[in-house]
Structure 1
Amino acid sequence: MALHDILFGPFPLTLGILSISLYWVLWYLRRGKQAQAQTQTVTDGPPFYPFDPAALDRKEPYFTQSETPILTFGNSMILPNRYAHEIRNNDHLSFRDGLEKDFLTTVPGLEALFTGTFHNDIVWDTASAFSRQISALIEPLSTETGIFLQENWGDDAEWHSIPLNDSMHLLIAQLTARIFIGEELCRDRAWIQLDISYTAHRTAAIKELPQYGRLIPIVHWFLPSCRALRACVRAARPFVERVLEARREQAQGQGKKQRESIDALSWIDGVAGRTKYDPTLTQLRLAYAAVHTTSDMMAKVVAAICEHDELIQPLREEIVAVVKEHGWSEAALAKMVLLDSVLKETQRLEPLASFTLSRIAREAVVLSDGTRIPKGTQVRLTTDNMWNSSVYPDAAKFDGYRFVRLRDQDTATGTATATGTPSGGLSFVSVSANHMGFGYGKHACPGRFFAGAETKIALCHVLLKYDVELVDGGLAGAQTDGMMIWRDKRAMLRVRRRSGEIEV
C-alpha cells in the first residue's frame, strides 16, 4: 500500500477527525468543571437564591393582568397566566415534545429504549390505573410508613436530629417502591439507593447537558452524570429481572388462580402482553416521575408545619376523629380537610417550579388576542397567580386554613358537588388556572391522586407518632435553582417519639 494511501485513506482521516473532536469535547468539559469550581469558591455555597413569594405578588402591579408582558428568549416564550385556558389543551402545542426537550429523552440513559404507544404512555397509564384503586393502596402504604419510621426515626423519646430532605427522600422512595415493584425490593437498601441515585444523576444530567447545545450527542458519552446514570440502569437490571421472572413463574404455576397483585411491575407486565418493553427502565422512569416530586412536597410540608406549629394539635385532632369514624380508608383521607388544606397551601406557596405547561408548537399558533407562537417555539406558562393577592388575599402569607375556609364558602353558597367535593379546584389534587401545582388541563399530573394519598398517610404517621421541629429555621428556607423551588438541602429536623392517640 502506498504511503499516501496509508496517511490519507478514509480510516486515518476518520480517526483524526474523531481525535480532534474528542480533544475539544474534553477541553470544553474541563473548562466547564473549572468554571463551576471557581463559582463554588467565590460564592462559598450552593448557587441558589432565597425564594420570596412577596416579591412576585402583583397586588400593586406595574402591569395589570391584561398588560403583563410576554417574555421571549430565543426560541422560547414565557406566557402570562391569562393564556392558561388556551394553552392547556391546544393540540398544536405538543406536551410530549415539551417533555422530550426538557428531559432530553433521546440521550442514552435518559431514554426508555423501547418504542411504540405502550412506551409513550406507560408512565401515564400506570399512574392513572393506580389512581383508580387508592383504597387498595392505603394498607401497604401505611404499613411501609410504619416500618420506615421505626427503622429510621426510632422510638427514642429524647430529641434527636435527622436530615429533613434525605429522610423524606428515603421515606417516599420506600413507599413508592412498595407500590411500583413490590415487597421483594421496597426495603432493599441497595434497590432504594439505586432509585435515589438514578433520580439524582438524571436531575444533574438534565441540568448540565443543555449548556453544551449541539455537542450533546457527543458530550453525554463523557459527562460524569450521564455515565453514572447509565451505570445505574445496568446495576438495576438484575434486581428487576429477578423479581419479574419470579412473578411470571408464579403466574404460570397458579394459572387462573393467579394472585391479585397491586404493584406496577406485575400490572405493566400483564398489560404489555407480547409487546416488547424494558421493565427496568420502566421502573426507573416511574421512580423518577414520582420520588423526587413527592419527596420534595413532603419536605416542604413538614417544614411548613414546623414553622407554623400552631397547626400540629388541630391536625392531630382531625386525624384521630376521622380515623375513629371511618377507619383507614379512602373516605377517611378525603375527610381530612385541614391536612388537605395545609398540603395545598404549601404547594401554592412553594410549587415544584415557577413555570409549567411546557409545550412545543408543532405549527404556528395564533392565540385569541392575536399573539403568535411560531412553529418550533417552546412555550411555558407562569404560575404567578398562585402568589397574586388579587386571587389569594395576603398571598405571600402561609395560611393553613385558607382552603378550609374556601371549601366552607363553597358549601355555604351551594356550589359543592353532590358528592361533597368542592368546586373551583379547592382540594389538594384539584387543578385550576389559579393553582397549577399539578399542571392544568388534560395533561395534568395523572399520579396526583396517588401522591395525595401517599403524603397524607405519611403525615398521619409522622404527626401521631412524633413531635417534630426544625433544628435551625434559618437553614430550612425555600430557595430557587433556575425555575425550580426547593427547601434548603442543609435543613435538619429534630424528632422524638410520642404516645399516639390511636394506633397507626
Structure 2
Amino acid sequence: MYFSFETIQTFVVGFIVVYVIHWIKKPRLSENEPPMVPYKIPIIGHTIDFVFNADTFFSKCRKHYGDTFNLYVFSQVITIAGSEASQEIFKASDSFSLNEAVKDILPLHHVLPRVNGFDGTQHMAKMIREEITGNLSLYTGRMQEQLVISINKEIGDCSDPKVITSGQKFFSKIIARPMANIIVGEEISKHEDVVNTFANIAKGLGIFLVLPPFLSFIHPKIHQQVVTLPIRFGWNPIRKDINTLKNYLRPVLEKRLKDKEILGDKYKPPLDIIEFYLNEPGYGAKVITDEYLSYICEVLAQLIFGSVHTTARHIAGALYDFAGRPELWDDIYEEQAKIDKECNGVLAIEHVDRMVKLDSFMRESIRTFGDVAGIIHRCMEDSYTFKNNTTIPKDRIVYIYLNDSYYNKVYGPEPRSFQPYYGLNNKIPATKIDKNYYAFGAGKHACPGRFLAINEIKICMHKLILNYHIKTESGKINEKRYVGPFVLPPSTGIVFEDRKK
C-alpha cells in the first residue's frame, strides 16, 4: 500500500497534536489520592460510562476500588465518595461547599446576580425552619385546598380514562399552586399567571441541569462561560416571570407597609413568606422601590426553584411507582379512605401524620427513585484527608455515591427490590435522614424543606388515590430515565380513571 508524503505528514502532525492534547489534559493527581479507575481512551476518560452507564459502572468501581475512587470525566478528575466517606463530608461542613460546587452546573449567580445564586441559602434555611416548618399545621389546610384546585384543573373529570404523559413538567404545574399560596400569599396566588410563573421558573432554571458540559474537554470554565454567554449579553430565562412577580407584588407590599403604619400593633400579618421577608432585617423595606422588587423577586426565585422542581420530581416518581404496582393499590387506598372518613374530607396535620403506609411508600419511592450520585461538594481546604487515609486537593469536586447508601445490606439480601413498608416496619418516617438515606442531604445542611415537601406529596397522593384508579399505560413498572448519574421520571403515560363513588 502506497502512502504519499502529504499523507504521512498529516498523520505525523495529527499524532503530535493528539499527543500534546493528551499530555496537557492528562489527569494530575496529588500524593495519596483515592485510586484512579483505569480508562482506555485518552482525554475522554470515563465520560462515556459516566453519562450513559453510571449505575452499573459506579457499582463495579465500588466493588474493585473501595469506598472512594477517582474518575476522569469531561477532562477533569472527580472523586466519588461512598457511604463511609459521605458521612465525613456531611460532617465536615467547613471543609466542603455544596454551593460552590453547584455553581459549575447551575450558574444561578449569573441569572440572579443580586443574590449571587444560592449564596443566601443559609438564611433561607433559617426562614424555612421558622416560618414554614414551624407553621406547617397552619399551612396544611391551604395546601389541601390549592392541590384540589390544581388536580381538578390539570386532571379533572376522568369518567373516560385519561392519559397523562408529561411527567415532571406536568406535576410542576400542580405543585406550583400551593407553593405560590405559601410564598406570595393567598391574594396574589389567585392569579393564574402567577401560578404559571412558579412552574416556569422551575422549568427555566432547570434547563442548566440537562446541558452536558462537553466544552469542559477544553477547560472546565469554558462550559460555564459559553452556557452563560447569552445571559451576560442580556438574555435571562426567567426575566418575564420575574417581571410578572414584580407587577403583582408591588401593590400588595405597598398596602401592607401602609397598613402597618396606620394600624400599628393592631396590624395582623398575613401568613406567607413575603410577609416574613418584609419584616426580616436585611430583606425588609420601608419603601417599595424597583431595585427592592428586583432583589426580593430573585430571593423568591431561589425558593421557588428549590421547592417546585424537587417536589414535582418526587411526586412524579411516587406516582409512577404506585401506578405500576397493582399489588399495593387496595392496601394504600383503604388507608386513605379511612382517614378521609375520619376527617370528613378536610385534612389536618394529625391526619397527614396518620398516613403511615403512604409515608412508608413515599420513603421507598424516594430511595429507589434516587440519583445514582449527586449532592456534589467542592473541597475548600488546601487538602482533605479521609479516615481511610486518602487525600484530595483543594477545589476537587466530590460526588456523594447515593446508591452506595440506598442499596446496602441494611435493606436485606435484595436491596434493589421495592420494599413499600420498610419505613413502617422499622419506624422510620420519610423525613428522617440517616446514613442509609441521604435523599435530603445530611448534617447541618440537610434540607429543611423536607417536612413541607413530604406532607405536600402525601396530601396530593391522598387526593389522587381517593379520586382515581391510577395505572401505567403499559401495565408495567416503567423504567426511570438517566442523565448521567441523575434520575428523571419516565416519560411514558399514566392512566387516570374516576373511582365510582
TM-score, scaled relative to structure 2: 0.77
* Farther off after superposition, 490-499 or 368-377: 490-499
Question: What SS does structure 2 have at the residue aligned with 1:245?
Answer: helix
2:256 pairs with 1:247: yes
Once the 2 structures are TM-superposed, how far is the Cα of residue 283 of structure 1 from its aligned partner?
1.6
2:196 counterpart letter in structure 1: Q
2:192 pairs with 1:189: yes
Summarize the Cα distance change of 1:320–1:306 in structure 2 as closer, same or farther, 3 Å threshold. same
Once the 2 structures are TM-superposed, how far is the Cα of residue 136 of structure 1 from its aligned partner?
0.7
Q: State the alpha-carbon separation in 1 of the partners of residues 108 and 451 from structure 2.
A: 25
Question: What SS does structure 1 have at the residue aligned with 2:159?
Answer: coil
* Farther off after superposition, 283-292 or 365-374: 365-374
Query: Where does the alignment leave 5 or more consecutive residues of structure 1 unmatched?
Result: 1-47, 408-425
2:267 pairs with 1:258: yes
2:135 counterpart letter in structure 1: Q
Counterpart residue number, 2:97: 94
Verify the 8 A CA contact 1:439 1:445 in the aligned structure 2.
yes
Counterpart residue number, 2:462: 460
CA distances 1:401-445 after superposition (whole Å, capped 9, x unpaired): 2222222xxxxxxxxxxxxxxxxxx21011111111111111111
Q: State the alpha-carbon separation in 1 of the partners of residues 106 and 283 from structure 2.
A: 28
* Farther off after superposition, 155-164 or 339-348: 155-164
Once the 2 structures are TM-superposed, how far is the Cα of residue 269 of structure 1 from its aligned partner?
1.5
Verify the 8 A CA contact 1:363 1:374 in the aligned structure 2.
yes
CA distances 1:181-209 after superposition (whole Å, capped 9, x unpaired): 12233343322222222222212135448
> Aligned match of 1:349 in 356, 368, 377?
368
Summarize the Cα distance change of 1:257–1:447 in structure 2 as closer, same or farther, 3 Å threshold. same
Counterpart residue number, 1:19: none
2:209 pairs with 1:220: no
CA RMSD of aligned residues (A): 3.2
Q: State the alpha-carbon separation in 1 of the partners of residues 234 and 399 from structure 2.
A: 26
1:417-432 correspondence runs (5 A):
426-432=428-434
Summarize the Cα distance change of 1:389–1:124 in structure 2 as closer, same or farther, 3 Å threshold. closer
Q: State the alpha-carbon separation in 2 of the partners of residues 496 and 116 from structure 1.
A: 41
Verify the 8 A CA contact 1:77 1:380 in the aligned structure 2.
yes
Q: State the alpha-carbon separation in 1 of the partners of residues 256 and 475 from structure 2.
A: 47
Once the 2 structures are TM-superposed, how far is the Cα of residue 390 of structure 1 from its aligned partner?
1.9
Summarize the Cα distance change of 1:451–1:365 in structure 2 as closer, same or farther, 3 Å threshold. same
2:399 pairs with 1:380: yes
Counterpart residue number, 1:71: 70
1:7-86 correspondence runs (5 A):
55=56, 67-73=66-72, 74-86=76-88
Identity among equivalent pairs (%): 19
Counterpart residue number, 2:48: none
Counterpart residue number, 2:175: 172
Verify the 8 A CA contact 2:68 2:85 in the aligned structure 1.
no
Counterpart residue number, 1:125: 126
Q: State the alpha-carbon separation in 1 of the partners of residues 371 and 183 from structure 2.
A: 23
Question: What SS does structure 2 have at the residue aligned with 1:430?
Answer: coil
Once the 2 structures are TM-superposed, how far is the Cα of residue 139 of structure 1 from its aligned partner?
0.4
Counterpart residue number, 1:29: none
* Farther off after superposition, 171-180 or 265-274: 265-274
Q: State the alpha-carbon separation in 2 of the partners of residues 368 and 252 from structure 1.
A: 58
Q: State the alpha-carbon separation in 2 of the partners of residues 427 and 225 from structure 1.
A: 46
1:265-284 correspondence runs (5 A):
265-272=274-281, 278-284=295-301
* Farther off after superposition, 270-279 or 441-450: 270-279
Question: What SS does structure 1 have at the residue aligned with 2:238?
Answer: helix
Q: State the alpha-carbon separation in 1 of the partners of residues 284 and 214 from structure 2.
A: 37
Summarize the Cα distance change of 1:352–1:244 in structure 2 as closer, same or farther, 3 Å threshold. farther
Q: State the alpha-carbon separation in 2 of the partners of residues 321 and 66 from structure 1.
A: 50
Paired residues, what number? 429
Counterpart residue number, 2:245: 236
* Farther off after superposition, 202-211 or 76-85: 202-211
Verify the 8 A CA contact 2:103 2:109 in the aligned structure 1.
yes
Question: What SS does structure 1 have at the residue aligned with 2:469?
Answer: strand
2:369 pairs with 1:369: no
2:290 pairs with 1:289: no
Counterpart residue number, 1:314: 331
Verify the 8 A CA contact 1:92 1:363 in the aligned structure 2.
no
TM-score, scaled relative to structure 1: 0.76
CA distances 1:202-221 after superposition (whole Å, capped 9, x unpaired): 12135448555444446524
Counterpart residue number, 1:148: 150
* Farther off after superposition, 258-267 or 95-104: 95-104
